[in-house]
Each structure stands twice: as C-alpha cells, then as structure tokens.
Copies of this chain bind each other. A is one copy, B any other.
Amino acid sequence: MTVGDLGEFGVVNRITGRLPQGAAVMLGPGDDAAMVGVPDGRVVVSTDLLLEGRHFRRDWSSGYDVGRKAAAQNLADVAAMGAVPTAIVVGLGIPADLPLEWLDALTDGFGDECATVGASVAGGDVTRCDLVVLGVTALGDLAGRDPVTRSGARPGQVVAVSGRLGYAAAGWALLEAGAPQDSPALQEAVAGHRRPCPPYAMGPQAAELGASAMLDVSDGLLQDLGHIAAASGVRVEVDPQAFTVGEPVAAAAKELGTDPLEWVLTGGEDHALAAVFPANVRLPATWQVVGRVVEGDGVLVYGREIGQPGWDHFR
C-alpha cells in the first residue's frame, strides 16, 4: 500500500497516530499550529532542509534511519546552544508511490530520536513531491541559562569535543566505494553515516561547565571551528595528535587505504559538539581537549592555516 492510496488526510492521521506527545507539547498535531511550552520565555529554534539524493539515499538508508538522522541534526543544533530540545515540527514532501512501510519507519525514526531527549513531534505538514524532502525545525528551552553562541571564544581558552568524529564520513566513503562491510567495525562506520549519535546532554552540560562558545560539527570540525574563530575574532589551534580515532573510522580507513584523521578533522554529519572552555576548566571524560584559542584568526593544524576544507553545498 502506498501514500497515494491513503490520500493526504489519511497520511496525516497515520503519521500522528504513531507519534506520542512529550511533556512540553501543550497542543499537538491537528490544528493550524502547535503550542509548545517555553517556561524560560525565550525559545531556541533551528531549521534544516534534508533532500533525498543529497543528504540521504533511499537505497543506502532505511526510512527509520532517515527519520532519526533528520531529527538528530536539528536537535543537535538546539543542544549546541546549551538548550534542552523540547519539540520538532516537520514539513514532509513525499511521492505518491512511497510505500506506507517506509513512511511508518520514517515516522518512528523521528519519534524515537526525539524521545532520546524527551522531545516529540508537535506538528507538521505533508505535501506531494517527486523526491523525499524533509523540512525539520527543532525548538528548545534554555532553562534560564545564557545561550552559548559562536562568538565567545577568547585567547587562552581550550577547545574540546564531545561525541563521534569521522564516523559519518567513513561510512559514506565505504558506501560510495561499494566496499565490503564484513566486520562489526565497518558496519558501525556505515551505521554512523545512516544515523548520527549526537551527545545531546553534553550541550547543557557544557553550558553549566562555563563553555563560552559552542557549535555542533555538521560540516567538518576544522571548518566549523573556523566559524567560532571568525565569530569570536580569534585563532583556533588544533592538535591533531589529541584525537582518539574511533575503531570504525580506523577500520574504514584501512579498508580504503586512506588517512582516518582526515575524516576526523574534516568529515561532517556526526553532529559531535565542539566547545571552548576557560583554561582552568575541569572537564569530565565526556569531553576531550583537542586545541586552544590564541590571538589571530583562522584555524591552524599541523602548523598550517586551513582554508575551507569542509562541505559547501554549492561547490
């Protein structure tokens, strides 16, 4: 059975029927708009567009994977401000011949990823489109904290990361090369492309620990640290030897005969968090110091200044 068999309102009812509502949602799907509680009086909001063929492929990722990934990358943006995600809304473009099983899996992926942070899908919109298009907007609450922006890095501070780096790039490279996935490590790398695991709770934790700048790594660590450098008017020096290369990333690099550190430093879509802390901070093991902030501009690694080594959607 396909989406077209069900019709627009049947599709909407089917989606909303699978989605439990979280505590912050005061009015869920079914009206002109949803209503979400923001006790703080300031709502954090981030939006992303995900396109079939560009951000995911239906032959490489299941509907469930796509739902989790689409939710994750927006929830991570909210966490990267130091906020707790509360809800997402989803604009969904789907072909009429899309199997209902795929739609159900997508819906469950959205719901399950949101549930990992106590959030839920508060509303959305469904329209017909030749390819699958997802417009996802996440909301969050700062619980009285100041937002952690990109502009607060100061010379003398340290740069730390939390979460995976290089997994998504390694998995994508394996899939593109048609490489075998005959070990748990290689399978985990591919899973890293299909479904990122952002360290959501580390966002508010970093804020509590005094982070002065933070972002989520969506386009590649070096490029994203460049945003902090530019917004803060500082230089970021990255120590490549400070990184622990994940076993799946190392295995994929061995399989494809490439340098794993390149994926760690420039691979996007893992949605790790990168934050800048005061020099005297005592960081828990969830954070790894990988560099420092100095006077100047740009990002320095291996003693060389980095131009723009990450992802540009138009280049």
Mark A residues whose CB is within 8 Å of B.
3-4, 6-9, 11, 26-27, 30-49, 51, 54-55, 76-78, 80-81, 83, 87, 89-93, 96, 122-129, 133, 135-140, 142, 147, 149-150, 214-216, 231, 308, 312-315
B37 engages A41 (CB within 8 Å): yes
Given A129-B54, A135-B91, A314-B8, A45 and B30 contact (CB-CB distance below 8 Å): no
A133 engages B96 (CB within 8 Å): no
A33 engages B83 (CB within 8 Å): yes
| CA–CA, A126 and B3, complex, Å | 28
B47 engages A77 (CB within 8 Å): no
B31 engages A45 (CB within 8 Å): no
Could you say which residues of chain B place their CB within 8 Å of the CB of A308?
9
The 6 closest A-B pairs by CB, nearest first: A135-B135, A49-B91, A33-B46, A137-B137, A32-B80, A47-B89
A-B contact list, 8 entries, CB within 8 Å: A31-B149, A32-B214, A38-B41, A45-B139, A47-B137, A49-B127, A49-B133, A128-B314
Partner of A314, one of B11, B77, B312: B11
| CA–CA, A70 and B44, complex, Å | 22
Partner of A45, one of B40, B81, B122: B122
Minimum CB–CB distance from A315 to chain B (whole Å) comes to 6
Given A45-B123, A123-B45, A147 and B27 contact (CB-CB distance below 8 Å): yes
A35 engages B44 (CB within 8 Å): yes
| CA–CA, A138 and B38, complex, Å | 16
A41 engages B44 (CB within 8 Å): no
Minimum CB–CB distance from A258 to chain B (whole Å) comes to 25
| CA–CA, A31 and B224, complex, Å | 11
Q: Specify the chain B residue showing the minimal Cβ separation from A312.
A: B8
A215 engages B41 (CB within 8 Å): no
Minimum CB–CB distance from A77 to chain B (whole Å) comes to 4
